[in-house]
Amino acid sequence: MSAIVFVVIGVCAFSAGYFFYSKYLAEKIFRLDPNFVTPAHTMEDGVDYVPTRRVILWGHHFSAVAGASPIVGPGIAVVWGWLPALLWVTIGTVFFAGVHDFGALWASSRNQGRSIGALTADIVGPRARSIFMIVIFLLLLMVNSVFGIIIANEHIAVPSSVIPTWIVILVAMVIGWLIYKKGMSLLWVTVIGVSVLYGAIWVGAVMPIELPSSFLGLAAPGQWVVILFVYAGIASILPVWLLLQPRDYINGIQLFIGLALLYIAVLLAAPTVVAPAFNSNPPANAPPIVPLLFVTIACGAISGFHGLVASGTTSKQLDKEPHARQVGYLGSVGEGTLAMAAIIACTAGFASFADWNAFYGGSYPAAGLTAWARGGSIIMENGLGLPDNIAETMLAVMGILFAATTMDAGVRLQRYIIQEWGTIYNIPALTGRNVSTLIAVGSCLLLAFGAGGGGGGALIIWPLFGTSNQLLGALTLMVLTVFLIKLKRPVWVTVVPLTFLIVMTIPALIIQLRGFWEAQNWLLIVMDLLILGASILVALEAVSAFGRAKREAAAS
């Protein structure tokens, strides 16, 4: 079967979702009002609250939520065959992520643009807010560790990715300096920056770089993990305008270029899907598809992280309320499109079933990002005539840059949380920038190495990361449900996905717990138990909050 069928299925499902389901949500559930004055106008301050054009808002909302996860998740999950991954990505995007992202944006804009964390305290209660903070910290810790590990592994699998990845940091800093200190036109800076990036990809393909197999007792993956976290620590204390902002910008631009190139290549090459619809013979250590599929693919089907972005920055810039439909719903559709591209690359980018099975048949979880770069490069070579090694470097760098920008921001956020705890609990040492950064980076390194494999084999925590991400999504859906109950609106649109997420998350945690127990990995056992505890609390909190909200609504 041709992979174009996947493209057609994706386009049809996402279009139907947008034109029918999101319209239903906008009219019947959220009842968007063109006359409602959004916080971007009522609280306009030229800094956080600024009415922003719809297309710009969508662009940066999408590039903020798109990351390495919708590539890595599907890249691992196709081990069970392409059909389950395809179904979960399409159904998840249309009925889960769309409602979640759109709803978070709407609820926040109806509440002075407050973040979901603040809304949890206001709408549900302070206890739910505490659970929320714990889940966010665990999520950040896991995001940073997992992404560090993924980049380390990818640098080893595709050594040509090393030069472009690190040159981008330099390019970003030069861009930041040119714009802020020299006042240069962004258009020219963009053209030069993107040209240097693609030039560096070519140089990288010619000059691959490999670290020694052992240095000070550390294997190559471990060495990369240490280098990456030293970098992330430094990056997180540099001024935002110097690194984070230009880096995010280049990343956004190359996201659109890379995605467009890959889809054009798929349409021109029409590659054949070599993976089975259902894999009857997955690796012996692969966990059961239900419930693990639903936590392996988090971003790309539904991700709690989007709620943080939607309510944290996007809602403060919403010009008119009806824009929430395009920005929120289409933002998740963009993410679904990226996940779909990953499924295509990882199922149709291999020459034959034997090749595919050689990659996926070994052990679970397979390196999703490596499969994406390898499979995608073959499609690009056939469709666009790009040399295989250049295309592979380009796709590997695309995934790495996603992971790296998320890490930059993630370590910074972790530092903020630690500093805040320092203030709350009156521990002056924690409020300092350097100490809090050291603690943030140290905790990530501890998890990256504690998970096993000398810092390299730790993709094993990927499903755990997915679980905490889903849990955050469940919390946001809970807040939305309570808000809808208070407004006396139908709640099935949020209750069904919420119930599904909780029902899948808890067994997934128990199955993983058994695996960690068998491996006697106490660090992961503790992490798993913490998340399990938080999941059960979320479930109980949801039941009690719904009851309370219903009684209040009935009384009013």
Compute the least distance from the CB of residue 480 to other proteins, in Å: 24
Distance CA 331, CA 303 (A): 12
Distance CA 277, CA 522 (A): 37
The torsion region of residue 81 among left (phi > 0), alpha (psi -120 to 50) and beta comes to left
Compute the least distance from the CB of residue 236 to other proteins, in Å: 12
The closest of 505, 532, 456 to 154, measured between CA atoms, is 456
Compute the least distance from the CB of residue 331 to other proteins, in Å: 13
Q: Contact 14/280 with Cβ under 8 angstroms? A: no
In the complex with other proteins, the residue whose CB is nearer, 67 or 81, is: 67
Count the Cβ atoms, other than its own, within 10 Å of residue 447: 23
In the complex with other proteins, the residue whose CB is nearer, 244 or 404, is: 244
In the complex with other proteins, the residue whose CB is nearer, 130 or 245, is: 245
Name the DSSP class of 461.
Answer: G
In the complex with other proteins, the residue whose CB is nearer, 56 or 264, is: 56
Compute the least distance from the CB of residue 190 to other proteins, in Å: 6
In the complex with other proteins, the residue whose CB is nearer, 99 or 318, is: 318
In the complex with other proteins, the residue whose CB is nearer, 255 or 348, is: 255
Compute the least distance from the CB of residue 381 to other proteins, in Å: 31
- Site residues for other proteins per CB under 8 A: 46-48, 50, 52-53, 55-57, 59-60, 64, 179, 185-187, 190, 239-241, 244-246, 248-249, 252, 313, 317
Compute the least distance from the CB of residue 187 to other proteins, in Å: 4
Could you identify the residue written with the tokens 């990953």? 342
Sorted by sequence, the CB contacts under 8 Å of residue 253 that are 6+ apart come out as 190, 194
Compute the least distance from the CB of residue 467 to other proteins, in Å: 28
Distance CA 23, CA 27 (A): 6
Compute the least distance from the CB of residue 64 to other proteins, in Å: 6
In the complex with other proteins, the residue whose CB is nearer, 175 or 498, is: 175
Sorted by sequence, the CB contacts under 8 Å of residue 124 that are 6+ apart come out as 478, 479, 482, 541, 545
In the complex with other proteins, the residue whose CB is nearer, 95 or 249, is: 249
In the complex with other proteins, the residue whose CB is nearer, 239 or 547, is: 239
In the complex with other proteins, the residue whose CB is nearer, 317 or 377, is: 317
| Phi, psi at 519, each rounded to 5° | -80, -5
**Collapsing DSSP states into helix, strand and coil, what is residue 295?**
helix
The closest of 211, 209, 230 to 220, measured between CA atoms, is 211
Tokens of 356: 């595919």
**Collapsing DSSP states into helix, strand and coil, what is residue 43?**
coil
Compute the least distance from the CB of residue 410 to other proteins, in Å: 15
In the complex with other proteins, the residue whose CB is nearer, 188 or 517, is: 188
Indicate the angle between helix axes 244-269 and 186-206, nearest 10 degrees: 60
Q: Contact 480/494 with Cβ under 8 angstroms? A: yes
Compute the least distance from the CB of residue 196 to other proteins, in Å: 17
Name the DSSP class of 208.
Answer: -
Compute the least distance from the CB of residue 409 to other proteins, in Å: 10
Return the half-sphere exposure (C-beta side, CA atoms, 13 A cut-off) of residue 242: 7
Compute the least distance from the CB of residue 529 to other proteins, in Å: 35
Q: Contact 49/40 with Cβ under 8 angstroms? A: yes
Distance CA 270, CA 2 (A): 6
**Collapsing DSSP states into helix, strand and coil, what is residue 2?**
strand
Segments of 274-387 assigned E as strands:
none
Helix (H) / strand (E) containing 247: helix 244-269
In the complex with other proteins, the residue whose CB is nearer, 175 or 549, is: 175
Tokens of 377: 């490069």
